[in-house]
Amino acid sequence: MKILLIYGGRGLAKDPTLIVTAKIKEVLIELSATVEQINLNEENNAKTIASNLHNYDGIVLATTVEWFGIGALAQKFLDDCWYYGDKAIIQDLYLMPVVCSMHTGERDGQNHILKSWDLLGGIHCDGICAYFSNSTELEFNKDYIEIIEKKAENLYRNIKQKKPRLPKSLVINSNGVVKENLPEKKQVSLFDGDEKYIQRQQEDIEQLKFFFKQKLESSNGDIYENIRDAFINSFVSQINFKGIYKINIIDKKKVIAIDINNDVISCDMEDRENVNVNIQADFEALEKITSGYITFQRAFMTGLINAKGDFKLLYMLDQLFRFK
């Protein structure tokens, strides 16, 4: 998953939006998303951003209301999306608006971004709209930081699960405007004559993905043994604890059963029926967990894994296994 984080403020040291975007970026990276940040106040060729949206799964558009409106830089990005963006790409692109104000107008700013994205035909997620008298008020408030983290997790979840959306009159009624006029696009496109180059790049990327996938699979050896050893070596016994977990590795069509009785743990490939917790996960998600990149709880909350059964035992997993 690749996220484009766009900052449309002026880059002032006291700007609370900078703290919000830093926290969002931190959470997304922790969830193993690739985050590319562009500060529009430092970008010399901002017009090309709108023409490269096909490289991303989602966008965070963050700006600061200093007196009125979302500011020239953020507005220019939206204008560029209208003039140079591929509407067929934008209609599948998730956007999370982040608008902070140290005076007033943050709600109007967020509504402006949301309506603009609707007109472009895109999908938007719950954003962040807040007033802070100064950046320190935000930086040292744990409750505020937790809210921001939840919003970032929600963006990741929406993109990962590709959640459907209800139809909106603004999008439907603007279809006649949003539909591309091919002759006009030919005139304003920044990619005139580059279609073959782009296609060749995409083919090269697919070949590289296939190559590294094969290399990874060959180096993994026995998948079951690697995962099994990770659980056994990271096990931390709990007093008076009993539980049986079954993990279905969906894409590898393998099952791992983990039976814990106080300080005794056993792992096997038996497809058991009577278990306390049944977990569904793909190999990539399980690998992130057993490598210590993400906890079981965060993986469940963000939709990386699905589970049913005794949720008290599910939340015990992070205490039972300390992956590094």
Say yes or no to pLDDT of 184 above 50.
no
Same domain? For 240 and 178 the reply is no
Q: Flag the least confident range among 63-67, 83-87, 173-177, 202-206.
A: 173-177
Same domain? For 57 and 130 the reply is yes
Same domain? For 246 and 298 the reply is yes
Give the domain-ending residue among 183, 203, 238.
183
* CATH classification of the domain holding 10: 3.40.50.360
Q: Flag the least confident range among 47-61, 133-147, 155-169, 261-275.
A: 155-169
Helix (H, G, I), strand (E, B) or coil at 47: helix
pLDDT digits (tens, 9 = 90+) for 252-309: 888 999 999 999 999 988 888 899 999 999 988 998 899 888 899 888 888 889 999 9
**Domain for residue 192, yes or no?**
no
Give the domain-ending residue among 133, 156, 183.
183
Place of tokens 């007093």: 239
Q: How far is residue 1's CA from residue 56's CA, in Å, rounded to a whole number?
A: 8
| Average pLDDT, integer, range 99-114 | 93
Q: What is the pLDDT of residue 270?
A: 85
**Domain for residue 179, yes or no?**
yes
- The C-alpha angle 116, 178, 45, rounded to 5 degrees, equals 60
**Domain for residue 18, yes or no?**
yes
How does residue 181 score in pLDDT terms, banded at 50, 70 and 90?
very low
How does residue 122 score in pLDDT terms, banded at 50, 70 and 90?
very high
The predicted model scores a pTM of 0.60
Domain limits for position 100: 2-183
| Average pLDDT, integer, range 224-249 | 90
Helix and strand numbers, DSSP H then E, in the chain: 14, 11
Q: How far is residue 175's CA from residue 171's CA, in Å, rounded to a whole number?
A: 6
| Average pLDDT, integer, range 161-172 | 71
Sign of the four-CA dihedral 287, 288, 291, 292: negative
Give the contacts of 269 (CB within 8 A, at least 6 positions apart): 224, 254, 255, 256, 257
Same domain? For 128 and 256 the reply is no
What angle do helix axes 106-120 and 72-84 make, rounded to 10 degrees?
A: 10
Burial class (CB in 10 A: 0-12, 13-18, 19+), 104: exposed
Same domain? For 244 and 115 the reply is no
Structure tokens at 184: 């006009």
Q: How far is residue 237's CA from residue 218's CA, in Å, rounded to a whole number?
A: 33
Contact (Cβ atoms closer than 8 angstroms) between residue 323 and residue 289:
yes
Name which residue leads in pLDDT, 188 or 85.
Answer: 85
| Average pLDDT, integer, range 229-247 | 92
Give the domain-ending residue among 156, 183, 210.
183
DSSP state letters, 17-40 = HHHHHHHHHHHHHHTT-EEEEEET
Same domain? For 162 and 35 the reply is yes
Same domain? For 8 and 133 the reply is yes
Same domain? For 275 and 159 the reply is no
* CATH classification of the domain holding 228: 3.30.1050.10
Same domain? For 121 and 23 the reply is yes
Q: How far is residue 298's CA from residue 32's CA, in Å, rounded to a whole number?
A: 12
Q: What DSSP designation does 190 have? A: T
Same domain? For 34 and 140 the reply is yes
The total domain count for the chain is 2
Q: What is the pLDDT of residue 186?
A: 45
Q: What DSSP designation does 111 have? A: H
**Domain for residue 211, yes or no?**
no
| Average pLDDT, integer, range 48-75 | 93
**Domain for residue 86, yes or no?**
yes
**Mean model confidence pLDDT for the chain:** 85
Same domain? For 49 and 163 the reply is yes
Single-letter amino acid code for the residue at 236: V
How does residue 47 score in pLDDT terms, banded at 50, 70 and 90?
confident
Contact (Cβ atoms closer than 8 angstroms) between residue 123 and residue 89:
no
**Domain for residue 103, yes or no?**
yes
Say yes or no to pLDDT of 175 above 70.
no
pLDDT digits (tens, 9 = 90+) for 186-206: 444 455 455 666 777 777 787
Q: What is the pLDDT of residue 226?
A: 81
How does residue 147 score in pLDDT terms, banded at 50, 70 and 90?
very high
What are φ and ψ of residue 130, in 5° steps? -155, 155
**Domain for residue 217, yes or no?**
no
Same domain? For 47 and 124 the reply is yes
Structure tokens at 141: 């408030």
**Domain for residue 83, yes or no?**
yes
Say yes or no to pLDDT of 217 above 80.
no
